[in-house]
């Protein structure tokens, strides 16, 4: 039985993907700060799911990940869905620090712990570290500077980790998944409208296919791949005049 651990499985995309993999017969370890929704999902799949409280901003998050790995008797895939961010043109320091703690510090803790697990495990088939980043990481977005920078950090880190795995002969695949706007609790659709917003039911299967095919990097969906491809061509002298909102709360 294949095994996946989903970090950030308490709501939105993480909860949906955890449910889908459980339904496919995988053994699923679910982790987040709040466990109520994951406990409810476990009731539907009691034989192949496990729940753990993991706050990625806490120093022992890596240790808690290893405990969850033991609980489900191994790990084939680590999926990092935890995320934090706001539209913050006021540059509120508290919000920025919370974003950095989850998207940079917490992400690094979990990614490092997962990499070391695969490095130190004599696995015959490749392990996989998959991370949901964002299209916001492909360009600096003024109203959400810290969020877009934190997602760029994740993207660059994963690129470096992929190179390190090759150099160290670690049997692990790295997958970066860059969604556009998805209607989750992270996206405040009640007070603001976003272009080309995708439902969780639309985006989740595409993310799952990217994981199962062990894609190196994929944008969800093709419309957003075109948009991000085009805006990368915009020089900074023009980009500064473009006003954008980002998928943050």
The domain limits of the chain are 3-239
pLDDT at 249 over 80: no
pTM of the model: 0.92
> Structure tokens of 31?
């982790």
Q: Give the orientation angle of helix 107-120 with respect to helix 61-71, to 10 degrees.
A: 50
Mean pLDDT, residues 162-174 taken together: 96
Q: Does 186 have pLDDT greater than 70?
A: no
Q: Residue 59: is it exposed, middle or buried by C-beta count within 10 angstroms (0-12/13-18/19+)?
A: exposed
- pLDDT mean over 129-149: 91
Q: Does the domain formed by 3-239 have CATH 3.40.50.720?
A: yes
Task: Return the beta strands (E) in 33-166 as ranges.
Answer: 49-53, 77-80, 127-132
Q: 8 CB contacts (<8 Å, ≥6 apart)?
A: 14, 31, 32, 80, 81, 82, 83
pLDDT of 102 reads 96
Top pLDDT among 244 and 142 is at: 142
Q: Distance between CA atoms of 188 and 191, rounded to whole angstroms? A: 6
Helical H segments across 101-241, by residue range: 107-120, 145-168, 200-212, 222-231, 236-239
Contact 27, 68 (CB under 8 A): no
Which pLDDT band, with edges at 50, 70 and 90, does 130 fall under?
very high
Q: What is the DSSP letter of 140?
A: -
pLDDT tens by residue, 9-22:
999 999 999 999 99
Which pLDDT score, from 0 to 100, does residue 48 have? 96
Bond preceding residue 221 cis, omega within 30 of 0: yes
- CA trace torsion 92, 224, 83, 32 (10° rounding): 160
pLDDT tens sequence across 206-231:
999 999 999 999 999 889 899 989 98
Strand order in the sheet with 127-132: 49-53, 27-32, 3-7, 77-80, 127-132, 172-179, 217-220
What pLDDT, on the 0 to 100 scale, is given for residue 198?
A: 87
Query: What value does the mean pLDDT take over residues 61-90?
Result: 93
User: What value does the mean pLDDT of the chain take?
Assistant: 91
- pLDDT mean over 188-194: 61
Longest dimension (CA), the chain: 57
- % of the chain exceeding 70 in pLDDT: 93
The CA distance from 229 to 233, in Å, is 7
DSSP 135: G
Q: What percentage of residues in the chain have a pLDDT greater than 90?
A: 69
| CA atoms within 13 Å, Cβ hemisphere of 188 | 10
Pairing of strands 27-32, 3-7: parallel
Q: Is the pLDDT of residue 191 over 70?
A: no
């Amino acid at each position: 039985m294949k095994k996946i651990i989903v970090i950030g499985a308490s709501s939105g995309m993480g909860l949906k993907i955890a449910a889908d993999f459980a339904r496919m017969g995988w053994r699923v370890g679910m982790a987040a700060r709040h466990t109520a929704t994951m406990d409810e999902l476990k009731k539907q799949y009691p034989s192949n799911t496990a729940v753990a409280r993991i706050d990625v901003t806490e120093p022992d998050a890596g240790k808690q990940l290893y405990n969850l790995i033991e609980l489900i008797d191994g790990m084939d895939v680590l999926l990092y869905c935890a995320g934090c961010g706001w539209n913050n043109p006021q540059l509120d320091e508290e919000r920025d620090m919370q974003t950095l703690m989850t998207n940079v510090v917490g992400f690094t803790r979990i990614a490092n712990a997962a990499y070391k697990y695969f490095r130190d495990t004599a696995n015959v088939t490749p392990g996989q570290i998959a991370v949901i980043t964002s299209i916001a990481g492909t360009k600096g977005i003024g109203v959400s500077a810290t969020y877009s920078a934190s997602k760029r950090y994740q993207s660059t880190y994963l690129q470096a980790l992929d190179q390190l795995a090759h150099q160290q002969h670690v049997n692990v695949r790295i997958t970066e998944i860059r969604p556009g706007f998805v209607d989750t609790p992270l996206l405040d659709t009640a007070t603001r409208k976003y272009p080309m917003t995708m439902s969780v039911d639309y985006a989740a299967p595409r993310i799952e296919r990217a994981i199962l095919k062990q894609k190196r990097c994929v944008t969800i969906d093709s419309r957003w791949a075109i948009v991000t491809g085009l805006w990368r061509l915009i020089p900074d002298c023009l980009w500064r005049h473009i006003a954008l909102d980002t998928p943050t709360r």
